[in-house]
Amino acid sequence: METKIELIRSNRKTTVLEVTRTGRVILRAPKRASKQALDAFVKDKQAWIETQLAKQAAARAARPDPTPAETDALKQLAKKVLPERVAYYAERMQLYPTGIRITTARTRFGSCSAKNRLCFSLYLMQYPEDAIDYVVVHELAHIRHKNHGPGFHALVASVLPNHKAMRTLLRS
């Protein structure tokens, strides 16, 4: 089956492929890249594209998009669960966020702003408790370490010795 590829040209210098959660294949390329060069690039990446499409299809099957009512329920659950988990781990880590927000982000489970405000995706509520705790600790660690350097990883490991196993739950 021929895969439909959406081409987006811009002032970029590199050519990249992206496969979205919905199964769209996007080719981002420099404005001056020739059709021949882009065709060769796509041909070279065909196996990768097929693998990614299969992964995205499996992810959609494992966690289908919730209905509006389910989304509201996830948001209410997140508003109840996440502040409790943040308070628990903030006290343990002695790191306190300036605020907590619940979002509908699809591509990241959490974030920490420069002003130490934490955001969590309501979709995190679809994962096991250990996965939720991992994301909470991960974001709290960003209050002290604004990167993913050795100090950041040491801090996460000091709080959650089994953090690597907990993180893998987010990929299931």
62-105 pLDDT, tens digit per residue, is 878 889 999 999 999 999 999 999 999 999 999 999 999 999 99
Please state, in angstroms and rounded to a whole number, the distance separating the CA atoms of residues 143 and 118.
Answer: 9
Same domain for 32 and 80: no
Query: Is the model's pLDDT at 149 over the cut of 60?
Result: yes
Same domain for 152 and 90: yes
Same domain for 50 and 134: no
Same domain for 129 and 52: no
Same domain for 132 and 108: yes
Mean pLDDT of the chain: 93
Same domain for 57 and 80: no
Same domain for 151 and 99: yes
**The pLDDT value given to residue 35:** 94
More confident of the two residues 47 and 3: 47
> Number of folded domains in the chain?
2
Same domain for 149 and 72: yes
Q: What angle do CA 41, 11, 18 make, to 5 degrees?
A: 45
Same domain for 121 and 95: yes
Same domain for 30 and 80: no
Domain enclosing residue 167, as ranges: 68-171
Does residue 19 contact residue 52 with C-beta atoms inside 8 Å? yes
Same domain for 57 and 18: yes
Q: Hey, what amino acid is at 100?
A: I
Q: What is the CATH number of the domain that holds 99?
A: 3.30.2010.10
Please report which confidence band the pLDDT of residue 1 belongs to, taking 50, 70 and 90 as the band edges: low
Please state, in angstroms and rounded to a whole number, the distance separating the CA atoms of residues 96 and 74.
Answer: 24
Please report which confidence band the pLDDT of residue 172 belongs to, taking 50, 70 and 90 as the band edges: low
Same domain for 49 and 88: no
**The pLDDT value given to residue 61:** 85
pTM, 2 dp: 0.76
